[in-house]
Amino acid sequence: MLKKTLIGSLIFLLYTPLSAYDLRSNMLQLGAELAEVQKSFIASDQKGVEDSIKRFAQHSQDLLGDKDNFTAMLPANKKHKASEAVMSAQIISHNVQIILDAIENKRNQSGIVRREEAQRAYTYIEHACFRCHNIVRDEYKQ
């Protein structure tokens, strides 16, 4: 049994790219997923918005939602800023729910109002991403 578990783990590690554990590559993935949400909004593709926002939400929660995991990815001089990522994950989650509620028409609103609310929520998601990035990742020269 132990041998099978060990072999399975080794196979998993062989086929899992090391970049999956790299913060930068994860951020690039989130950026690409967020761009897909925007593309779906622009194309008025409601199903595309729903699918891409759910994918983005899951990946952003996996990356940003656990303070200990996120802290482990940060360089030593930034570890104290991991709570910013958790706060961004909460903001993202809240606004994803606004988008999903608009798609499901939970408030019985017109299509235009729902679309505008969803798009506004998308911009709040972008802002949360940029805010976290600016605080946690970037170094500014004075």
Q: For residue 119, what is the domain's CATH number?
A: 1.20.120
Between the alpha carbon of residue 62 and those of residues 56, 86, 88, the distances in Å are: 10, 10, 12
Per the prediction, the chain carries an average pLDDT of: 84
Smallest CA-to-CA distance from 35 within 60, 58, 53, 59 is with 53
Residue 90, in any domain of the structure: yes
Task: Say what the pLDDT of residue 6 is.
Answer: 47
Q: Is the pLDDT of residue 139 over 80?
A: no
Q: Is the pLDDT of residue 19 over 50?
A: no
* Mean pLDDT (whole number) for 15-22: 45
Task: Say what the pLDDT of residue 12 is.
Answer: 47
User: What's the pLDDT tens digit per position in 86-136?
Assistant: 999 999 999 999 999 999 998 888 989 999 999 999 999 999 999 888 877
Residue 4, in any domain of the structure: no
Task: Say what the pLDDT of residue 16 is.
Answer: 42
Q: How many domains does the chain have?
A: 1
Residue 119, in any domain of the structure: yes
Domain ranges, residue 88: 19-137
Residue 39, in any domain of the structure: yes
